[in-house]
Amino acid sequence: MPLMDSASFDELVTANRILAREGVVDAFGHVSIRHPAHSERFCLSRARAPECIESADIMDFTLEGSPIAPAGRKPYAERFIHGAIYEARADVHAVVHNHSPAVIPFGVTGTPLRPLLHMSASMGTTVPVWDSRTAFGDTNLLVTALPMARDLAAALGANPVALMRGHGCVVAGGSLREVVFNAIYLQVNAELQLKAAGLGAITFLSDGEVAAVLKTRSSFTFERAWEYWCQRAGRPYDVRPMDGPLAR
């Protein structure tokens, strides 16, 4: 079985550093990718703060959350989140789990998180909320077993985002750069919605507007943002071919 190349390791390290620099994750939270050479595996760091992660920390896992070659490295307790989403969604190639403080309020109140900024259209107009208590009763809210993770993946469904009551959220995407983009702008949207709510009624994006934004979004959007975030995080930028318009 071919191993991931060092460039893929470096990309995952960069994603961790970007999410830390942008405040989406702190000492906790994690990002993974589906293994590029083996669709029934995923790659995730050992249990370490995202800002500290290096290439040597990246591990391979089965979709059931078993490490392939741990070599003494302790895995994240919530690695099952990633495996269950990859198991349920063949279209997903990257997953972020985080505890963004801006997002948390929308998972514990009756106020839904909805897109109000065009850059946040990728979150969709409906963001489901998963409550671990519904099926599992009183727990520590951590998703540390496959049955809980599969229940969360079912709540996510075909959506790009699901909130986790009293815990955080999961963001699923078709690529690493896309999921990082979406996780960051999910947090931006949450911050803006909290601010706008204090001013009055909010005009959210319509279904048609969301569809129009996503129809015109291309890899250029993700690459332009990725280069910017790499600069801010002090990480090298790997230039890739970009499709779509070169300016907005």
Any bridge partners for residue 61, and if so which?
Answer: 42, 67
- Which residues touch 162 (CB under 8 Å, ≥6 apart)? 127, 128, 129, 130, 152, 155, 156, 169, 170
CA 42 from centroid of its chain's CA atoms: 14
Are 91 and 159 in contact, with CB atoms under 8 Å apart? no
Are 233 and 11 in contact, with CB atoms under 8 Å apart? no
Task: From the candidates 78, 87, 178, 223, give the one annotated as an active-site residue.
Answer: 78
| Distance (Å, whole) CA 25 – CA 237 | 21
First to last CA, the chain: 42
Are 59 and 4 in contact, with CB atoms under 8 Å apart? no
Q: Is 78 among the residues known to form the active site?
A: yes
Where are the alpha helices (H) located in 66-216, listed in sequence order?
Answer: 80-88, 105-108, 132-136, 146-156, 176-197, 207-216
Active-site residue list: 78
